[in-house]
Structure 1
Amino acid sequence: MSKNKLPKTPYKTDEQKERAEELLNELYKYYPNPHCELNHRNAFELLIATILSAQCTDERVNKTTPALFETYPTPELMAEAPLEELEQLVKSTGFYKNKAKSLKETSQILTEKFDGEVPKNMKDLLSLRGVARKTANVVLGNAYGINVGVVVDTHVKRLANRFDLTRESKNTNKIEKVLMALFPRENWTDLSHLMIHHGRAACKARFSTPSNHPICKKYGRRCECQSMSSD
Protein backbone atom coordinates (compact mmCIF):
# COMPACT_ATOMS: atom_id res chain seq x y z
CA MET A 1 0.00 0.00 0.00
CA SER A 2 1.24 3.48 -0.88
CA LYS A 3 2.27 5.54 2.12
CA ASN A 4 -0.28 8.18 1.07
CA LYS A 5 -3.15 5.77 0.34
CA LEU A 6 -5.52 5.44 3.26
CA PRO A 7 -6.91 2.10 4.42
CA LYS A 8 -10.65 1.50 4.52
CA THR A 9 -12.50 3.61 7.08
CA PRO A 10 -13.14 1.44 10.15
CA TYR A 11 -16.67 1.03 11.53
CA LYS A 12 -17.36 2.90 14.75
CA THR A 13 -20.38 2.49 17.02
CA ASP A 14 -22.69 5.31 18.04
CA GLU A 15 -21.31 4.98 21.58
CA GLN A 16 -17.74 5.45 20.36
CA LYS A 17 -18.76 8.46 18.28
CA GLU A 18 -20.66 9.96 21.22
CA ARG A 19 -17.59 9.64 23.46
CA ALA A 20 -15.43 11.24 20.76
CA GLU A 21 -17.86 14.15 20.39
CA GLU A 22 -17.86 14.71 24.16
CA LEU A 23 -14.05 14.77 24.10
CA LEU A 24 -14.13 17.22 21.19
CA ASN A 25 -16.45 19.55 23.11
CA GLU A 26 -14.16 19.41 26.15
CA LEU A 27 -11.15 20.29 24.00
CA TYR A 28 -13.03 23.26 22.55
CA LYS A 29 -13.85 24.39 26.09
CA TYR A 30 -10.20 24.51 27.14
CA TYR A 31 -8.80 25.62 23.77
CA PRO A 32 -11.52 27.86 22.25
CA ASN A 33 -9.33 29.24 19.48
CA PRO A 34 -7.78 26.27 17.64
CA HIS A 35 -5.47 27.51 14.92
CA CYS A 36 -2.40 26.71 12.87
CA GLU A 37 0.71 27.97 14.63
CA LEU A 38 2.75 28.29 11.46
CA ASN A 39 2.74 31.97 10.49
CA HIS A 40 1.48 32.52 6.95
CA ARG A 41 -0.38 35.07 4.85
CA ASN A 42 -1.48 32.82 1.99
CA ALA A 43 -1.56 29.22 0.77
CA PHE A 44 1.92 29.38 -0.74
CA GLU A 45 3.52 30.56 2.50
CA LEU A 46 1.67 27.87 4.46
CA LEU A 47 2.79 25.19 2.02
CA ILE A 48 6.42 26.25 2.27
CA ALA A 49 6.28 26.62 6.07
CA THR A 50 4.76 23.15 6.42
CA ILE A 51 7.47 21.59 4.26
CA LEU A 52 10.06 23.27 6.50
CA SER A 53 8.31 22.04 9.66
CA ALA A 54 9.33 18.42 9.05
CA GLN A 55 11.56 17.36 11.96
CA CYS A 56 11.49 20.96 13.19
CA THR A 57 9.45 23.01 15.64
CA ASP A 58 6.86 25.55 14.52
CA GLU A 59 8.70 28.14 16.59
CA ARG A 60 11.91 27.63 14.63
CA VAL A 61 10.08 27.71 11.30
CA ASN A 62 8.37 30.98 12.26
CA LYS A 63 11.78 32.50 12.95
CA THR A 64 13.06 31.32 9.57
CA THR A 65 10.27 32.17 7.16
CA PRO A 66 10.18 36.00 7.43
CA ALA A 67 13.55 36.40 5.70
CA LEU A 68 12.72 33.62 3.24
CA PHE A 69 9.40 35.17 2.19
CA GLU A 70 10.84 38.67 2.09
CA THR A 71 13.41 37.48 -0.44
CA TYR A 72 11.22 35.01 -2.35
CA PRO A 73 7.55 35.87 -1.75
CA THR A 74 6.08 34.02 -4.75
CA PRO A 75 6.44 30.61 -6.44
CA GLU A 76 7.84 32.34 -9.52
CA LEU A 77 10.65 34.00 -7.58
CA MET A 78 11.41 30.96 -5.44
CA ALA A 79 11.57 28.76 -8.54
CA GLU A 80 14.41 30.93 -9.86
CA ALA A 81 16.26 31.17 -6.54
CA PRO A 82 19.84 29.83 -6.43
CA LEU A 83 19.76 26.59 -4.49
CA GLU A 84 22.69 27.69 -2.34
CA GLU A 85 20.79 30.78 -1.20
CA LEU A 86 17.73 28.74 -0.28
CA GLU A 87 19.94 26.38 1.70
CA GLN A 88 21.36 29.24 3.73
CA LEU A 89 17.94 30.76 4.35
CA VAL A 90 16.44 27.51 5.70
CA LYS A 91 19.57 26.00 7.27
CA SER A 92 18.35 26.45 10.85
CA THR A 93 15.34 24.14 10.24
CA GLY A 94 17.53 21.07 9.74
CA PHE A 95 17.85 18.76 6.73
CA TYR A 96 18.26 22.00 4.85
CA LYS A 97 19.70 20.59 1.63
CA ASN A 98 16.69 18.37 0.98
CA LYS A 99 14.30 21.06 2.14
CA ALA A 100 15.86 23.65 -0.15
CA LYS A 101 15.48 21.26 -3.09
CA SER A 102 11.84 20.66 -2.15
CA LEU A 103 11.15 24.39 -1.98
CA LYS A 104 12.74 25.06 -5.34
CA GLU A 105 11.24 22.09 -7.20
CA THR A 106 7.79 22.62 -5.68
CA SER A 107 7.88 26.27 -6.71
CA GLN A 108 8.89 25.24 -10.21
CA ILE A 109 5.96 22.81 -10.45
CA LEU A 110 3.55 25.43 -9.11
CA THR A 111 4.79 27.92 -11.69
CA GLU A 112 4.89 25.59 -14.67
CA LYS A 113 1.89 23.36 -14.01
CA PHE A 114 -0.49 25.29 -11.77
CA ASP A 115 -0.06 28.93 -12.92
CA GLY A 116 1.62 29.84 -9.65
CA GLU A 117 -1.37 28.72 -7.54
CA VAL A 118 -1.32 26.14 -4.77
CA PRO A 119 -3.71 23.31 -5.75
CA LYS A 120 -6.94 22.82 -3.84
CA ASN A 121 -7.04 19.04 -4.05
CA MET A 122 -5.11 16.17 -2.52
CA LYS A 123 -3.96 14.53 -5.76
CA ASP A 124 -2.25 17.63 -7.15
CA LEU A 125 -0.71 18.57 -3.81
CA LEU A 126 0.85 15.12 -3.52
CA SER A 127 2.57 15.69 -6.87
CA LEU A 128 4.73 18.39 -5.26
CA ARG A 129 8.18 17.56 -3.88
CA GLY A 130 8.27 17.39 -0.10
CA VAL A 131 4.49 17.04 0.21
CA ALA A 132 2.91 13.94 1.74
CA ARG A 133 -0.64 13.55 3.02
CA LYS A 134 0.03 15.32 6.32
CA THR A 135 1.31 18.47 4.58
CA ALA A 136 -1.55 18.37 2.08
CA ASN A 137 -4.08 18.15 4.93
CA VAL A 138 -2.50 21.17 6.60
CA VAL A 139 -2.74 23.26 3.45
CA LEU A 140 -6.24 22.18 2.45
CA GLY A 141 -7.68 22.58 5.93
CA ASN A 142 -6.03 25.83 6.96
CA ALA A 143 -5.56 27.73 3.71
CA TYR A 144 -8.75 26.65 1.96
CA GLY A 145 -11.08 25.37 4.70
CA ILE A 146 -11.33 21.99 2.97
CA ASN A 147 -11.59 19.03 5.35
CA VAL A 148 -10.16 16.07 3.46
CA GLY A 149 -8.47 14.38 6.41
CA VAL A 150 -6.92 14.79 9.84
CA VAL A 151 -3.34 15.94 10.35
CA VAL A 152 -1.61 13.27 12.43
CA ASP A 153 1.59 14.57 13.97
CA THR A 154 3.42 13.25 17.03
CA HIS A 155 1.00 14.95 19.45
CA VAL A 156 -2.11 13.68 17.68
CA LYS A 157 -0.66 10.17 17.46
CA ARG A 158 0.19 10.18 21.18
CA LEU A 159 -3.16 11.54 22.34
CA ALA A 160 -5.18 9.29 20.05
CA ASN A 161 -3.64 6.39 21.94
CA ARG A 162 -3.82 7.89 25.41
CA PHE A 163 -7.49 8.75 24.94
CA ASP A 164 -8.09 5.20 23.73
CA LEU A 165 -9.40 6.36 20.38
CA THR A 166 -7.22 3.75 18.65
CA ARG A 167 -4.84 0.93 19.51
CA GLU A 168 -2.71 1.72 16.46
CA SER A 169 0.50 3.36 17.66
CA LYS A 170 2.65 3.63 14.53
CA ASN A 171 0.74 3.78 11.23
CA THR A 172 -0.39 7.38 10.84
CA ASN A 173 -2.70 6.53 7.92
CA LYS A 174 -4.61 4.03 10.07
CA ILE A 175 -4.79 6.52 12.94
CA GLU A 176 -6.11 9.18 10.58
CA LYS A 177 -8.83 6.86 9.30
CA VAL A 178 -9.95 6.08 12.85
CA LEU A 179 -10.17 9.77 13.73
CA MET A 180 -12.06 10.49 10.50
CA ALA A 181 -14.57 7.77 11.43
CA LEU A 182 -15.04 9.05 14.98
CA PHE A 183 -15.29 12.82 14.53
CA PRO A 184 -17.53 15.01 12.34
CA ARG A 185 -15.90 16.03 9.05
CA GLU A 186 -16.40 19.74 9.69
CA ASN A 187 -14.18 19.45 12.78
CA TRP A 188 -11.26 17.51 11.27
CA THR A 189 -8.96 20.51 10.86
CA ASP A 190 -9.80 21.88 14.31
CA LEU A 191 -9.34 18.43 15.86
CA SER A 192 -5.67 18.35 14.97
CA HIS A 193 -5.07 21.81 16.41
CA LEU A 194 -7.02 21.00 19.58
CA MET A 195 -5.04 17.83 20.22
CA ILE A 196 -1.76 19.58 19.45
CA HIS A 197 -2.62 22.43 21.85
CA HIS A 198 -3.49 19.92 24.59
CA GLY A 199 -0.40 17.84 23.90
CA ARG A 200 1.85 20.86 24.23
CA ALA A 201 0.08 22.40 27.22
CA ALA A 202 -0.85 19.43 29.38
CA CYS A 203 -0.51 15.87 28.08
CA LYS A 204 3.16 15.97 27.17
CA ALA A 205 5.34 13.15 25.94
CA ARG A 206 7.35 12.98 29.15
CA PHE A 207 6.27 13.82 32.69
CA SER A 208 7.96 14.09 36.05
CA THR A 209 4.51 14.40 37.67
CA PRO A 210 0.98 13.70 36.43
CA SER A 211 -0.70 16.59 34.60
CA ASN A 212 -3.99 16.24 36.51
CA HIS A 213 -5.74 17.99 33.64
CA PRO A 214 -9.52 17.37 33.70
CA ILE A 215 -9.50 16.07 30.13
CA CYS A 216 -6.75 13.55 30.89
CA LYS A 217 -8.49 12.47 34.09
CA LYS A 218 -11.81 11.91 32.31
CA TYR A 219 -10.75 10.54 28.93
CA GLY A 220 -7.18 9.33 29.41
CA ARG A 221 -7.95 5.65 29.74
CA ARG A 222 -4.43 4.81 28.57
CA CYS A 223 -2.86 8.11 29.58
CA GLU A 224 0.62 7.71 31.08
CA CYS A 225 0.46 11.11 32.71
CA GLN A 226 -2.43 9.86 34.84
CA SER A 227 -1.19 6.36 35.59
CA MET A 228 2.30 7.28 36.73
CA SER A 229 3.21 8.07 40.32
CA SER A 230 4.01 11.62 41.42
CA ASP A 231 6.65 10.40 43.87
Structure 2
Amino acid sequence: MLSRFAGETPLGRKRRARKMARELAETHPDAHCELDFTNPLELAVATILSAQTTDVRVNQVTPELFRRYRSAADYAAADREQMEALLRPTGFFRAKTNSLIRLGQALLEHHDGRIPGKLDQLVKLPGIGRKTANVILGNAFGVPGITVDTHFRRLTNRFGWVDEQDEVKIESLVADLIEKRDWTMLSHRVIFHGRRVCHSRTPACGACTLKAMCPSFGTGPTEAAPAARLLKGPRARELAVAAGVDPALVPAVAVLAPEEP
Protein backbone atom coordinates (compact mmCIF):
# COMPACT_ATOMS: atom_id res chain seq x y z
CA MET A 1 0.00 0.00 0.00
CA LEU A 2 2.89 2.34 0.71
CA SER A 3 3.86 1.91 -2.96
CA ARG A 4 1.33 4.64 -3.81
CA PHE A 5 4.02 7.13 -2.80
CA ALA A 6 7.10 4.94 -3.29
CA GLY A 7 8.95 7.52 -5.39
CA GLU A 8 8.15 10.46 -3.13
CA THR A 9 11.01 12.87 -2.46
CA PRO A 10 11.69 14.29 1.01
CA LEU A 11 10.28 17.64 -0.16
CA GLY A 12 7.23 15.90 -1.55
CA ARG A 13 6.70 14.11 1.77
CA LYS A 14 6.93 17.39 3.65
CA ARG A 15 4.41 19.06 1.36
CA ARG A 16 2.03 16.10 1.62
CA ALA A 17 2.41 15.97 5.42
CA ARG A 18 1.58 19.65 5.74
CA LYS A 19 -1.41 19.29 3.44
CA MET A 20 -2.65 16.36 5.54
CA ALA A 21 -2.11 18.40 8.71
CA ARG A 22 -4.24 21.22 7.28
CA GLU A 23 -6.96 18.71 6.40
CA LEU A 24 -6.88 17.29 9.92
CA ALA A 25 -7.42 20.82 11.25
CA GLU A 26 -10.56 21.08 9.12
CA THR A 27 -11.73 17.57 10.00
CA HIS A 28 -11.27 17.85 13.77
CA PRO A 29 -11.91 21.47 14.81
CA ASP A 30 -12.82 20.26 18.30
CA ALA A 31 -9.50 18.52 18.98
CA HIS A 32 -8.10 19.40 22.39
CA CYS A 33 -6.43 17.98 25.49
CA GLU A 34 -9.11 15.76 27.02
CA LEU A 35 -7.68 15.83 30.53
CA ASP A 36 -9.36 18.36 32.82
CA PHE A 37 -6.99 20.77 34.59
CA THR A 38 -6.68 24.40 35.67
CA ASN A 39 -2.93 24.73 36.21
CA PRO A 40 0.37 23.00 35.30
CA LEU A 41 0.49 20.90 38.48
CA GLU A 42 -2.99 19.51 37.85
CA LEU A 43 -2.09 18.65 34.26
CA ALA A 44 1.12 16.94 35.36
CA VAL A 45 -0.83 14.86 37.88
CA ALA A 46 -3.56 14.02 35.35
CA THR A 47 -1.06 12.89 32.72
CA ILE A 48 0.69 10.63 35.23
CA LEU A 49 -2.68 9.09 36.12
CA SER A 50 -3.61 8.60 32.46
CA ALA A 51 -1.11 5.78 32.00
CA GLN A 52 -2.88 2.49 31.20
CA THR A 53 -6.35 4.04 31.54
CA THR A 54 -8.67 6.45 29.72
CA ASP A 55 -8.87 10.22 30.01
CA VAL A 56 -12.54 9.79 30.92
CA ARG A 57 -11.60 7.66 33.92
CA VAL A 58 -8.93 10.14 35.01
CA ASN A 59 -11.41 13.02 34.79
CA GLN A 60 -13.76 11.11 37.09
CA VAL A 61 -11.06 10.82 39.75
CA THR A 62 -9.29 14.19 39.61
CA PRO A 63 -12.02 16.54 40.91
CA GLU A 64 -11.80 15.05 44.41
CA LEU A 65 -8.03 14.57 44.11
CA PHE A 66 -7.50 18.22 43.15
CA ARG A 67 -9.82 19.35 45.95
CA ARG A 68 -7.70 17.55 48.54
CA TYR A 69 -4.26 18.18 47.06
CA ARG A 70 -3.73 21.72 45.85
CA SER A 71 0.05 22.11 45.98
CA ALA A 72 3.28 20.21 45.67
CA ALA A 73 3.52 20.25 49.46
CA ASP A 74 0.13 18.55 49.70
CA TYR A 75 1.29 15.71 47.44
CA ALA A 76 4.63 15.40 49.22
CA ALA A 77 2.90 15.00 52.60
CA ALA A 78 0.02 12.83 51.37
CA ASP A 79 -1.19 9.86 53.37
CA ARG A 80 -0.38 6.93 51.10
CA GLU A 81 -3.43 4.83 51.96
CA GLN A 82 -5.84 7.71 51.45
CA MET A 83 -4.35 8.62 48.09
CA GLU A 84 -4.32 4.99 46.94
CA ALA A 85 -8.02 4.76 47.73
CA LEU A 86 -8.70 7.79 45.51
CA LEU A 87 -6.54 6.52 42.66
CA ARG A 88 -7.69 2.91 42.71
CA PRO A 89 -10.14 3.36 39.76
CA THR A 90 -7.27 4.45 37.47
CA GLY A 91 -5.36 1.17 37.86
CA PHE A 92 -1.76 0.72 39.00
CA PHE A 93 -2.80 2.94 41.90
CA ARG A 94 0.11 2.04 44.16
CA ALA A 95 2.71 2.98 41.57
CA LYS A 96 0.82 6.15 40.67
CA THR A 97 0.53 7.13 44.33
CA ASN A 98 4.26 6.66 44.69
CA SER A 99 4.89 8.82 41.61
CA LEU A 100 2.67 11.66 42.87
CA ILE A 101 4.22 11.72 46.34
CA ARG A 102 7.73 11.68 44.87
CA LEU A 103 6.70 14.35 42.34
CA GLY A 104 5.60 16.65 45.14
CA GLN A 105 8.85 16.04 47.01
CA ALA A 106 10.99 16.69 43.91
CA LEU A 107 9.13 19.91 43.11
CA LEU A 108 9.69 21.20 46.63
CA GLU A 109 13.35 20.23 46.60
CA HIS A 110 14.32 21.49 43.16
CA HIS A 111 11.67 23.89 41.80
CA ASP A 112 10.17 25.82 44.73
CA GLY A 113 7.04 23.70 44.48
CA ARG A 114 6.27 24.68 40.89
CA ILE A 115 6.12 22.66 37.69
CA PRO A 116 9.04 23.80 35.50
CA GLY A 117 8.41 24.92 31.95
CA LYS A 118 11.42 23.30 30.30
CA LEU A 119 11.65 19.84 28.77
CA ASP A 120 15.02 18.92 30.26
CA GLN A 121 13.74 19.74 33.76
CA LEU A 122 10.38 18.03 33.34
CA VAL A 123 11.78 14.68 32.23
CA LYS A 124 13.86 14.47 35.41
CA LEU A 125 10.73 14.54 37.57
CA PRO A 126 9.21 11.30 38.95
CA GLY A 127 6.49 9.87 36.71
CA ILE A 128 7.16 12.25 33.84
CA GLY A 129 8.68 11.00 30.60
CA ARG A 130 9.15 12.83 27.33
CA LYS A 131 5.57 12.21 26.16
CA THR A 132 4.10 13.53 29.39
CA ALA A 133 6.48 16.49 29.35
CA ASN A 134 5.34 17.50 25.87
CA VAL A 135 1.70 17.33 26.97
CA ILE A 136 2.49 19.67 29.86
CA LEU A 137 4.57 22.07 27.78
CA GLY A 138 2.06 22.32 24.96
CA ASN A 139 -1.11 22.58 26.99
CA ALA A 140 -0.08 24.30 30.22
CA PHE A 141 2.74 26.55 29.00
CA GLY A 142 1.95 27.11 25.33
CA VAL A 143 5.33 25.67 24.29
CA PRO A 144 4.93 23.64 21.07
CA GLY A 145 5.47 19.94 21.57
CA ILE A 146 4.71 16.67 19.78
CA THR A 147 3.03 13.99 21.88
CA VAL A 148 3.75 10.52 20.52
CA ASP A 149 1.15 8.14 21.94
CA THR A 150 -0.05 4.86 20.40
CA HIS A 151 -2.43 6.66 18.02
CA PHE A 152 0.24 9.11 16.88
CA ARG A 153 2.77 6.35 16.30
CA ARG A 154 0.29 4.24 14.33
CA LEU A 155 -1.04 7.06 12.17
CA THR A 156 2.26 8.73 11.30
CA ASN A 157 3.50 5.36 10.07
CA ARG A 158 0.31 4.77 8.09
CA PHE A 159 0.55 8.27 6.66
CA GLY A 160 4.03 7.44 5.42
CA TRP A 161 5.47 10.36 7.34
CA VAL A 162 7.80 8.00 9.20
CA ASP A 163 8.87 4.37 9.10
CA GLU A 164 9.78 4.12 12.74
CA GLN A 165 8.46 2.80 16.07
CA ASP A 166 10.76 4.60 18.49
CA GLU A 167 8.84 7.50 20.06
CA VAL A 168 11.77 9.90 20.27
CA LYS A 169 12.74 9.28 16.65
CA ILE A 170 9.13 9.74 15.50
CA GLU A 171 8.98 13.04 17.38
CA SER A 172 12.15 14.24 15.68
CA LEU A 173 11.08 13.13 12.19
CA VAL A 174 7.64 14.71 12.42
CA ALA A 175 9.18 17.90 13.80
CA ASP A 176 11.12 18.18 10.54
CA LEU A 177 7.91 17.87 8.52
CA ILE A 178 5.48 20.14 10.37
CA GLU A 179 5.91 23.77 11.38
CA LYS A 180 6.74 24.16 15.06
CA ARG A 181 3.76 26.41 15.79
CA ASP A 182 1.43 23.53 14.84
CA TRP A 183 3.04 20.72 16.86
CA THR A 184 0.74 20.74 19.89
CA MET A 185 -2.53 20.93 17.96
CA LEU A 186 -1.29 18.42 15.39
CA SER A 187 -0.83 15.93 18.22
CA HIS A 188 -4.42 16.41 19.37
CA ARG A 189 -5.80 16.18 15.84
CA VAL A 190 -3.91 13.01 14.97
CA ILE A 191 -5.07 11.43 18.24
CA PHE A 192 -8.70 12.40 17.55
CA HIS A 193 -8.40 10.98 14.03
CA GLY A 194 -7.03 7.74 15.43
CA ARG A 195 -9.88 7.43 17.88
CA ARG A 196 -12.66 8.30 15.45
CA VAL A 197 -11.56 7.24 11.98
CA CYS A 198 -8.19 5.52 11.63
CA HIS A 199 -8.74 2.68 14.10
CA SER A 200 -5.98 0.25 14.98
CA ARG A 201 -7.64 -2.88 13.60
CA THR A 202 -9.92 -1.66 10.83
CA PRO A 203 -9.65 1.97 9.76
CA ALA A 204 -12.57 3.66 8.01
CA CYS A 205 -10.59 4.31 4.82
CA GLY A 206 -13.59 4.95 2.58
CA ALA A 207 -14.92 7.61 4.96
CA CYS A 208 -11.63 9.38 5.62
CA THR A 209 -10.84 12.93 4.51
CA LEU A 210 -7.19 11.94 4.00
CA LYS A 211 -7.82 9.04 1.61
CA ALA A 212 -6.36 10.77 -1.46
CA MET A 213 -3.14 11.59 0.41
CA CYS A 214 -2.66 8.45 2.49
CA PRO A 215 -0.36 5.68 1.22
CA SER A 216 -2.16 3.19 3.48
CA PHE A 217 -5.56 3.73 1.88
CA GLY A 218 -7.10 0.27 1.59
CA THR A 219 -5.98 -1.00 4.97
CA GLY A 220 -9.67 -0.82 5.87
CA PRO A 221 -12.81 -0.94 3.67
CA THR A 222 -12.71 1.59 0.84
CA GLU A 223 -16.41 1.51 -0.01
CA ALA A 224 -18.56 4.20 1.58
CA ALA A 225 -21.16 2.06 3.35
CA PRO A 226 -18.88 -0.30 5.33
CA ALA A 227 -16.44 2.52 6.06
CA ALA A 228 -19.16 4.82 7.36
CA ARG A 229 -20.23 2.18 9.84
CA LEU A 230 -16.74 2.27 11.37
CA LEU A 231 -16.78 5.97 12.23
CA LYS A 232 -17.13 6.64 15.96
CA GLY A 233 -17.99 9.45 18.29
CA PRO A 234 -20.40 12.39 18.54
CA ARG A 235 -19.21 13.89 15.23
CA ALA A 236 -19.38 10.65 13.24
CA ARG A 237 -21.95 11.98 10.78
CA GLU A 238 -20.08 15.25 10.34
CA LEU A 239 -16.95 13.27 9.58
CA ALA A 240 -18.86 11.33 6.92
CA VAL A 241 -20.02 14.55 5.27
CA ALA A 242 -16.47 15.95 5.31
CA ALA A 243 -15.29 12.80 3.51
CA GLY A 244 -18.05 13.08 0.89
CA VAL A 245 -20.03 10.16 2.33
CA ASP A 246 -23.79 10.10 2.91
CA PRO A 247 -24.21 10.66 6.69
CA ALA A 248 -27.29 8.42 6.62
CA LEU A 249 -24.86 5.50 6.24
CA VAL A 250 -23.57 6.16 9.76
CA PRO A 251 -25.69 4.14 12.21
CA ALA A 252 -26.98 5.78 15.37
CA VAL A 253 -24.92 3.39 17.46
CA ALA A 254 -21.73 4.79 15.93
CA VAL A 255 -22.56 8.27 17.18
CA LEU A 256 -23.08 6.93 20.68
CA ALA A 257 -20.19 4.46 20.61
CA PRO A 258 -17.14 5.32 22.72
CA GLU A 259 -14.15 6.44 20.70
CA GLU A 260 -11.14 4.16 20.57
CA PRO A 261 -9.11 4.71 23.76
TM over 0.5: yes
Q: Which residue of 1 aligns with 2:151?
A: 155
Structure 2 match to 1:54: 51
1:226 and 1:178, CA in 2 relative to 1: closer, same or farther beyond 3 A?
farther
The correspondence of residues 6-85 of structure 1 with structure 2, limited to 5 A, is 13-85=10-82
| Shift in Å, 1:216 | 3.9
Q: Distance in 1 between matches of 2:108 and 2:83?
A: 17
2:198 pairs, out of 198, 203, 210, with 203
Q: Contact (CA 8 Å) 1:220, 1:226: kept in 2 or not?
A: no
Give the letter aligned to residue 186 of structure 1.
Answer: R
Q: What are the within-5 Å matches in structure 2 for residues 167-182 of structure 1?
A: 167-168=163-164, 170-182=165-177
Other structure's SS at 2:78 match: coil
SS of equivalent to 1:51: helix
Letter paired with 2:175 = M
Name the larger-Rg structure: 2
- Given residue 222 of structure 1, which amino acid in structure 2 is its aligned partner? S
Which residue is equivalent to 1:137?
A: 134
Instruction: Structure 2: state its 5+ residue gaps.
Output: 1-8, 228-261
The match for 1:88 is 85
Distance 1:227 1:48 in 2: 41
Go from structure 1 to structure 2 and tell me whether the alpha carbon gap of 1:101 and 1:174 turns closer, same or farther (over 3 Å shift). same
Residue identity in the other structure for 1:192: S
Give the letter for the 2:212 counterpart.
Answer: K
Match of 1:214 in 2: 208
Post-superposition shift, 1:56? 1.1
CA distance in 2, matches of 1:217, 1:18: 16
Post-superposition CA distance 1:67-101 (Å, at most 9, x none) = 11111121111111111111111111111111100
Q: Is 1:187 equivalent to 2:182 in the alignment?
A: yes
- Residues in 1 aligned to 2:84 and 2:206: alpha-carbon distance in whole angstroms: 43
CA positional deviation for 1:136: 0.4
Instruction: Number of aligned residue pairs: give it.
Output: 217
Given that residues 151 and 192 in structure 1 are in contact (C-alpha distance below 8 angstroms), is that contact kept between their aligned partners in structure 2? yes
Q: Deviations over 1:172-205 (max 9, x none)?
A: 1111111111100011111110001111111111
In structure 1, what is the Cα distance between the partners aligned to 2:122 and 2:56? 24
- Aligned residue for 2:212, secondary structure, equals helix
Shift of 1:30: 1.0
State the shift of 1:211 in Å.
4.4
What percentage of residue pairs aligned between the two structures are identical? 41
In structure 1, stretches of 5+ residues that fail to align are 1-11
Contact 1:211 1:226 in 2 (8 A): yes
Partners of 2:69 and 2:91 in 1: how far apart?
20
Aligned position for 2:107: 110
Segments ≥4 residues shifted beyond 6 Å: none
- Whole-angstrom CA distance in 2 between matches of 1:47 and 1:218: 38
Specify the SS of the correspondent of 1:101.
Answer: helix
Report deviation, 1:227.
Answer: 6.4
Task: Report the Cα offset of residue 226 of structure 1.
Answer: 4.6
**CA apart distance, 1:112:** 2.3
- CA distance in 2 between counterparts of 1:90 and 1:106 reads 15
**What letter is aligned with 2:121?**
D
Deviation per CA, 1:36-95: give whole Å up to 9, x if none.
110000000000000111111111111111111111121111111111111111111111
**How many Å separate the matches in 2 of 1:29 and 1:90?**
37
